[in-house]
Amino acid sequence: MPENYTPLEALKTYFGHEKFRPMQAEIIDQVLERKDALVVMPTGGGKSVCYQIPALVSEGLTVVVSPLISLMQDQVEGLRQNGVPAAFLNSSLNESQQRKVSQQITSGKLKLLYVSPERLLNPAMMAFLKRIPIKFFAVDEAHCISMWGHDFRPVYKDLKSLKSEFNNIPVIALTATADKVTRKDIVKQLGLDSPEVFIDSFDRPNLHLKVLPAQQRFKVIKKFIDLRPNQPGIVYCLSRKSTEKVAERLANSGIKAAPYHAGMSSEARARTQQAFSNDDISVVCATIAFGMGIDKSNIRWIIHYNLPKNMEGYYQEIGRAGRDGMAAEALLFYSYSDVAILRNFIEENELQEIRLAKLERMQQYAEAQTCRRKVLLSYFNEIYPENCGNCDVCNNPPSYIDGTVVAQKALSAVARLKESTGAGMVVDVLRGSSKSEIFQNGYNKLKTYGVGKDIDYFGWHHYLMQLVQQGFLEIAYDDHQKMKLTPLSKKVLYEKMPVKLTRPEKFAAGEAPVKKKTKKERLRDDLFERLRILRKQLADKQGIPAYQVFSDQTLQQMSEYRPDTVTELMAIDGVGQAKLDRYGETFLKSIENFKIQERDRGSTHLVTWQMLQQGKSPQEIAKERKLNSVTIYSHIAALYEKGKPISIEKYISKEDLDKTIKAIKTVGEMNGMKPIFEHLGGKIPFEKIRLALAMYHKKQ
Ligand code: ADP
Ligand code: ZN
């Protein structure tokens, strides 16, 4: 019986984790001592374990209140996968299904029951539960009870009656909402009895933070996704229309993407969400309507196509990435036109000032020249002592240059444009663009036309933003974001006041050059890919999301450590008893096959090597071994890369070699040999490209 486990044993047996995270153990003790508690932990912090473990190590039923059907289903499925007797009751079940759950409850078989607040508060349900030995109540997403929170649900208010109707039964409230007012309100509204309040750090160290100016967003996004094949992510957009537009453009360029917004039918929304959960599509372009119901643990990145309206929302949204604890990325595009749009949205009422202030804090984050994590956490009243090392500013600390001439050029362009245009036109004039608008307005005759050709588009936008931040320019948000001069600009223009600016980021398109993988990393990633496909097949068979089978983290560890035995597999984080029984053998088999193939691949090269040493030509070897000659050349290339004394020049002319290496340098090798082949007009066959690549790698 589960009652016999200690909390730690239950953690390993059911969830496959070795140890509790610092706060989890404390919270569990509190619950087991039958005390009320409020738990504030960021998304992905591991809140569920805090009530699931106490539920598993003690007698009786634990009732979990959860606001969304999809969340409940996901949680219950996850628990069942781990061999935990759990069920949910909500409006999605028919009568006979409901009866079955009730029977499980009365028979005492069920450990965890998830219910919607509506269902729980239904008088018949209350009466029924009063006859059941209930261990405690867990109120998930507890901020829904507070009008101060960002997701108020009136029905949550009535949960107040839990404490009075079920006296002596502890209540534990859980939320990821940070602000103090909401926390206090939760305690008050639920009538918690001198609860212990646990507040975990809001830091999500695995999230990489980055901000880019909103230039050529689509191009940047496309490249970003191309460099991260098969990694699920969300693009958050401000408008419904742009979710559709971006999704369509991505789909047209071969990326499996779909839109999601509140204007779609509920079926269409459910379809998108399901496809995303099941890894059938990898990108969702969504408004903020796409959110709370997603429990997907392997979201690897979040892009904000537009500036969010406040930090709370932003933090919630990026928090959806990397819940499995593995590296994940948050990229935000920042532009003044978004600021203007958001300012327009803010209505004139008593909340106007607060909302404007919140938007300004969001801007400060986007414009930060110091560690972004510090800025982010300070908003939530947390002090982060060191630089984080995992944000764009830390990775690429601003280096200041003498920007006086740059500033003079920019300010003079604004002056000559009579402060009547936005930043885009200022840059176009500086760069000497030949857009028709320029000629229509005679801007080509301005003295500043084309004086800034030496700086690219990104660079100029970066400098203009800096000038605004430092007060040398202003944006007229109430007048089409026109760029306006300030008293300080005059000092630069007429009094030669020096200006310091930071250098624009070198890799404006959002990417540092990709590091070449070591062989070990390549093999690990190949195995991960194979296990990912296996996971998907197993999940599809059961109609569940892939991450329910094993998390990315678990697959990653399997690819890294390549367990051979059940004991070794059991040592991997996330492999508990139920999953070991259910999937263990299949995964062990797949890992074993991978190893065998890798060994064979090694030996097939060696056979070619022996035959080469016997003086045979690649054609002869291909014929004798009944293999394609391209394969033999790829063996030769690999042998050469490994340091075997082979003279590549024997198989490719100097001229072809030079041409091909030049092509490799131009198109890169990220996307395999095909783009190189095409760049060369199809004139150099693949086998020669492969040889040239070997030469190229060796030289590097
Ligand atoms: P939250 O509900 O706070 O967003 P979850 O409870 O869903 O977070 O947990 C997030 C992830 O962390 C899950 O993948 C879970 O398996 C993992 N996790 C939770 N506790 C531990 C632990 N003690 N050790 C390792 N992983 C854990
Ligand atoms: Zn940082």
Closest C-alpha to ligand 1, atom 26: 17
Distances (CA, A) of 620 to 129, 403, 616, 630, 650: 80, 65, 6, 13, 15
State the pLDDT at residue 260: 97
Distance 54 CA to ligand 2 centre (A): 37
pLDDT digits (tens, 9 = 90+) for 7-53: 999 999 999 999 999 899 999 999 999 999 999 998 888 999 999 99
Report phi then psi at 157, rounded to 5: -55, -40
pLDDT at residue 311 greater than cutoff 80: yes
**Environment class of 144 (CB within 10 Å of its CB; exposed 0-12, middle 13-18, buried 19+):** buried
Closest C-alpha to ligand 1, atom 15: 46
Q: Which residue has the tokens 């399901």?
A: 274
Return the structure tokens found at 658: 């030079």
CB 327 within 8 Å of CB 206 = yes
Rounded-to-integer distance, Cα 386 and Cα 326, Å: 21
Distance 205 CA to ligand 2 centre (A): 10
**How many residues are present in the chain?**
700
State the pLDDT at residue 512: 52
> pLDDT higher for 692 or 383?
692
Q: What is the CATH number of domain 207-395?
A: 3.40.50.300
pLDDT at residue 615 greater than cutoff 70: yes
Three-state DSSP at 615 gives: coil
Query: Which ligand lies nearest to the CA atom of residue 393 in the structure?
Result: 2
Rounded-to-integer distance, Cα 521 and Cα 486, Å: 54
Q: Which residue has the tokens 């006296």?
A: 167
* Contacts of residue 588, Cβ cutoff 8 Å, sequence gap at least 6: 563, 564, 565, 566, 569
Provide long-range contacts, Cβ within 8 A and 24+ apart, for 668-676: 669/693, 670/226, 670/227, 670/514, 671/226
**Angle CA(459)–CA(464)–CA(470) in degrees, nearest 5?**
125
Return the structure tokens found at 141: 């997403």
List the single range of 63-77, 258-272, 410-424, 499-513 with lowest mean pLDDT. 499-513
> pLDDT higher for 487 or 147?
487
DSSP character at residue 302: E
Closest C-alpha to ligand 1, atom 9: 46
Q: Which residue has the tokens 């040239």?
A: 692
132 Ramachandran zone, left/alpha/beta (phi>0; psi -120 to 50): beta
Sign of CA dihedral 75, 81, 84, 87: positive
State the pLDDT at residue 347: 82
Rounded-to-integer distance, Cα 500 and Cα 503, Å: 10
Cα torsion through 447, 452, 454, 460, rounded to 10: -170
DSSP character at residue 13: I
CB 507 within 8 Å of CB 513 = yes
Radius of gyration of the CA atoms of the chain, in A:
30
Closest C-alpha to ligand 1, atom 25: 17
532 Ramachandran zone, left/alpha/beta (phi>0; psi -120 to 50): alpha
Distance 20 CA to ligand 1 centre (A): 10
Rounded-to-integer distance, Cα 225 and Cα 547, Å: 20
Q: Please, what is the angle between helix 577-613 and helix 69-81, to 10°?
A: 70
Three-state DSSP at 421 gives: coil
For ligand 1, residues with CB inside 6 Å are 15, 17, 20-21, 24, 41, 43-49, 297, 323-325, 551, 573
Distance 46 CA to ligand 1 centre (A): 4
pLDDT averaged over every residue in the chain:
91
pLDDT at residue 511 greater than cutoff 60: no
645-670 mean pLDDT: 88
Rounded-to-integer distance, Cα 44 and Cα 598, Å: 36
| Domains of the chain, residue spans | 2-199, 207-395, 400-504, 519-699
Query: Which ligand lies nearest to the CA atom of residue 390 in the structure?
Result: 2
Per-residue pLDDT band at 2 (split at 50, 70, 90)? very low
* Contacts of residue 619, Cβ cutoff 8 Å, sequence gap at least 6: 629
Distance 58 CA to ligand 2 centre (A): 43
pLDDT at residue 671 greater than cutoff 80: no
The answer to whether domain 2-199 and domain 207-395 are alike in fold is yes
217-223 mean pLDDT: 93
Return the structure tokens found at 667: 């198109």
Distance 512 CA to ligand 2 centre (A): 16
If we measure between CA atoms, which residue out of 65, 62, 58, 53 comes closest to residue 28? 53
Closest C-alpha to ligand 1, atom 21: 46
Report phi then psi at 162, rounded to 5: -55, -50
Architecture of domain 2-199: 3-Layer(aba) Sandwich (3.40)
DSSP string of 235-289? EE-SSHHHHHHHHHHHHHTT--EEEE-TTS-HHHHHHHHHHHHTTSSSEEEE-TT
> pLDDT higher for 294 or 461?
461
**Angle CA(140)–CA(143)–CA(146) in degrees, nearest 5?**
135
The best mutation among 8, 11, 15 to test binding of ligand 1, ranked by most ligand atoms within 8 Å of the C-beta, falls on 15
Architecture of domain 400-504: Orthogonal Bundle (1.10)
Q: 613 forms bridges with which residues in the sheet?
A: none
Sign of CA dihedral 542, 545, 547, 548: negative
Rounded-to-integer distance, Cα 584 and Cα 83, Å: 14
Three-state DSSP at 591 gives: helix
The best mutation among 84, 177, 323 to test binding of ligand 1, ranked by most ligand atoms within 8 Å of the C-beta, falls on 323
CB 447 within 8 Å of CB 416 = yes
Rounded-to-integer distance, Cα 102 and Cα 127, Å: 13
Q: 483 forms bridges with which residues in the sheet?
A: 475
Rounded-to-integer distance, Cα 578 and Cα 413, Å: 68
Query: Which ligand lies nearest to the CA atom of residue 298 in the structure?
Result: 1
DSSP character at residue 15: I
60-88 mean pLDDT: 94
pLDDT at residue 513 greater than cutoff 80: no
pLDDT digits (tens, 9 = 90+) for 533-575: 999 999 999 999 999 999 999 999 999 999 999 999 999 999 9
Q: Which atom, in ligand 1's list, is nearest to the CA of 15?
A: 16
Percentage of the residues of the chain whose pLDDT score is greater than 70: 98
Domain 519-699 has CATH 3.10.20.90: no
State the pLDDT at residue 128: 95
215-229 mean pLDDT: 91
pLDDT at residue 177 greater than cutoff 50: yes
Distance 639 CA to ligand 2 centre (A): 43
DSSP string of 303-327? EESS--SSHHHHHHHHTTTTTTSS-
Return the structure tokens found at 20: 């509790």
Query: Which ligand lies nearest to the CA atom of residue 292 in the structure?
Result: 1
CB 432 within 8 Å of CB 402 = no
State the pLDDT at residue 1: 44
Per-residue pLDDT band at 289 (split at 50, 70, 90)? confident
Q: Which atom, in ligand 1's list, is nearest to the CA of 176?
A: 3
Return the structure tokens found at 483: 């760029």
State the pLDDT at residue 180: 81
State the pLDDT at residue 225: 94
Q: Which atom, in ligand 1's list, is nearest to the CA of 19?
A: 23
Distance 264 CA to ligand 2 centre (A): 38
Q: Which atom, in ligand 1's list, is nearest to the CA of 48?
A: 6
Q: Please, what is the angle between helix 686-699 and helix 629-641, to 10°?
A: 0
Secondary element (H or E) of residue 173: strand 171-175
Report phi then psi at 102, rounded to 5: -60, -40
Distance 75 CA to ligand 2 centre (A): 33
State the pLDDT at residue 599: 84
